[in-house]
Structure 1
Amino acid sequence: MRIEILEESDLKVRFILHNAPIALANSFRRAMKSLVPTMAVDYVVFYMNTSFLYDEIIAHRIGLIPIKTDLERFNMPDKCVCGGEGCPNCQVSFRLNVEGPKVVYSGDLISEDPEIKPVYDNIPIVELYEGQQLMIEAVARLGTGKEHAKYQPVSACYYKIIPEIIVKDNCNNCGNCVSACPRNILRLNGKVEVTDILSCSMCRECVKVCEENAIDVVETDNYLFAVEGTGALPVKVVMKKALEILKEKAEEMNRIILEII
């Protein structure tokens, strides 16, 4: 298995996963979405809310705000020395006390830890009118996407199979396949050539119009991934952590099998 990075930034990575079974490719995708932990607000205490929105709606909105995460400093609650009761090693508190008229944004949340704060300051929470007030305390902790979507470190994570287009020797270069391709990835340059295999959707229109059966589209063990992060963690960190988790699960499975044998 090999990973080839095509495009990289803190929020988006496109890469090719070479020579991997499809089960592993899908496990990698699922691990990035649901097994890599990030910080998110877990519960909110309301001391004052005279806005037009119910407490539950505001709490839900705050819970979905991406929060910068440091996996080296914080523990999952069930693995913390406090036993999940809450301590500086597993949770961070936020305060908010605002009076209207004002639109309350994520940047108005004041964290007790300057490093653990909302990724974006401009996410609207609620609009307060004259005389309205919102006073709350929120507690964020680590969690995983399989527990709740608010803990997912990626907003989009998908892949597609990279096919191989085979042009056989009996091709008469009629050009029908070139004209039929909806993504214009074939060209006729003395013979039929593939210009951009990554754009192929495997619609097989080229195969359908070829009267000589001289072209074929086959699946391979290579996959084109696109991963977009929420900003809580750099996408490359998400990828690395996901692979580490899969490795740990595989090792645990081996131990279980050996015990059974």
Structure 2
Amino acid sequence: MKIRILEEDEFRIKFILKSSTAFANSLRRAMKSLVPTLAVDYVDFYLNTSYLYDEILAHRIGLIPIKTDLQRFNFQDKCVCGGEGCPNCQVSLRLNIEGPKVVYSGDFISEDPEIVPVFDNIPVVELDKGQQIMIEAVARLGTGKEHVKWQPVSLCGYRIVPEINITENCKLCMECIDACPRNVFSVVEGKLSAENVLECSMCMECVNVCEENAIEIKETNNFLFIAEGTGALPVRTVLEEALKIIKRKAEEMNTILEIAL
């Protein structure tokens, strides 16, 4: 397995993965469903005179991405509460506010100044004059396989990077250039060239219009991955943690097989 990073920032990563289709899909699923993050799991309402029911507010608050520190909040190594809640897997955020005002995610006050909503400008509810909300929201570690609110990535997908061969039969009829919807082909020094292979979606339109059968497209074990994070964790951290989880699961499977045999 090899990984080559093409683009990267805190919220987005683009890389080439050289591996099998099975591993590529395992990595995608691990990044979406197995990497733990913090999200509000339940809300205690002490006062709510807004226009929204408690359940609607709780649902909205639960979808607010929260910055997560896996060095501190780590239920694999530190948490022993069994899901009942402890300082190693949860944190409280409080809100006591009166209208008239639009309540935003940045209005929550966390008991840990480092564990706060990723964005301050997510609207929660609009309060009119005389309306008030007093709540305590408890965020805990969870994974995407429990609920989508714990997914650390909002987008995570891949496609095959094909091998494109152009034979000597090519007569530069330009039909493939016109037919390609992703501008993969161009003419370089009088010859047809697949300059933008990473853009190829393998739609095969170029092959279909080429009367000389000069274009060959083959599948490879190279996959173009694109992942966009929610901000709860840097996307590179999500990638690294997903790889660790896959390795740990493989080791557990080997142990089980050794015992069984």
Q: TM-score, normalised by structure 2?
A: 0.96
1:21 Cα deviation from its structure 2 partner: 0.4
Q: Deviations over 1:33-67 (max 9, x none)?
A: 00000000010000000000000000000000000
Question: Structure 1 residues 83, 77: closer, same or farther in 2, change over 3 A?
Answer: farther
Aligned to 2:172: 173
Aligned to 1:13: 13
202-211 or 168-177, which deviates more? 168-177
Aligned to 2:67: 68
Structure 1 distance, partners of 2:151, 2:81, is 24
Structure 2 distance, partners of 1:153, 1:208, is 41
166-175 or 84-93, which deviates more? 166-175
Any stretches of 5+ residues in structure 2 without a counterpart? none
Structure 2 distance, partners of 1:108, 1:16, is 40
Aligned to 1:160: 159
Structure 1 distance, partners of 2:114, 2:145, is 25
1:191 Cα deviation from its structure 2 partner: 2.2
Q: Deviations over 1:212-259 (max 9, x none)?
A: 222111111101111111111000000000000000111111112222
172-181 or 131-140, which deviates more? 172-181
Matched position secondary structure for 1:131? coil
Q: How does 1:84-233 map to 2 (within 5 A)?
A: 84-189=83-188, 190-233=190-233
- Tell me which amino acid in the other structure corresponds to 2:204: R
Q: Deviations over 1:68-102 (max 9, x none)?
A: 10111113399723333322122101111111111
Structure 2 distance, partners of 1:254, 1:85, is 31
- Tell me which amino acid in the other structure corresponds to 1:232: A
Structure 1 distance, partners of 2:76, 2:186, is 57
Structure 2 distance, partners of 1:86, 1:68, is 18
1:164 Cα deviation from its structure 2 partner: 1.0
1:17–1:224 Cα contact (<8 Å) kept: yes
Identity over the aligned pairs, expressed in percent? Answer: 68
Q: Deviations over 1:196-216 (max 9, x none)?
A: 101111111111011122211
List structure 1 segments (4+ residues) > 3 angstroms apart after TM superposition: none
Matched position secondary structure for 1:141? strand
Q: TM-score, normalised by structure 1?
A: 0.96
210-219 or 221-230, which deviates more? 210-219
Question: Structure 1 residues 183, 77: closer, same or farther in 2, change over 3 A?
Answer: closer
Structure 2 distance, partners of 1:108, 1:14, is 33
Structure 2 distance, partners of 1:45, 1:121, is 21
79-88 or 128-137, which deviates more? 79-88
1:77–1:83 Cα contact (<8 Å) kept: no
1:185–1:200 Cα contact (<8 Å) kept: yes
- Tell me which amino acid in the other structure corresponds to 1:81: V
- Tell me which amino acid in the other structure corresponds to 1:219: E
Matched position secondary structure for 1:86? coil
- Tell me which amino acid in the other structure corresponds to 1:9: D
CA RMSD in angstroms comes to: 1.5
Structure 2 distance, partners of 1:202, 1:81, is 49
Structure 2 distance, partners of 1:111, 1:71, is 17
2:13–2:235 Cα contact (<8 Å) kept: yes
Matched position secondary structure for 1:139? strand
43-52 or 85-94, which deviates more? 85-94
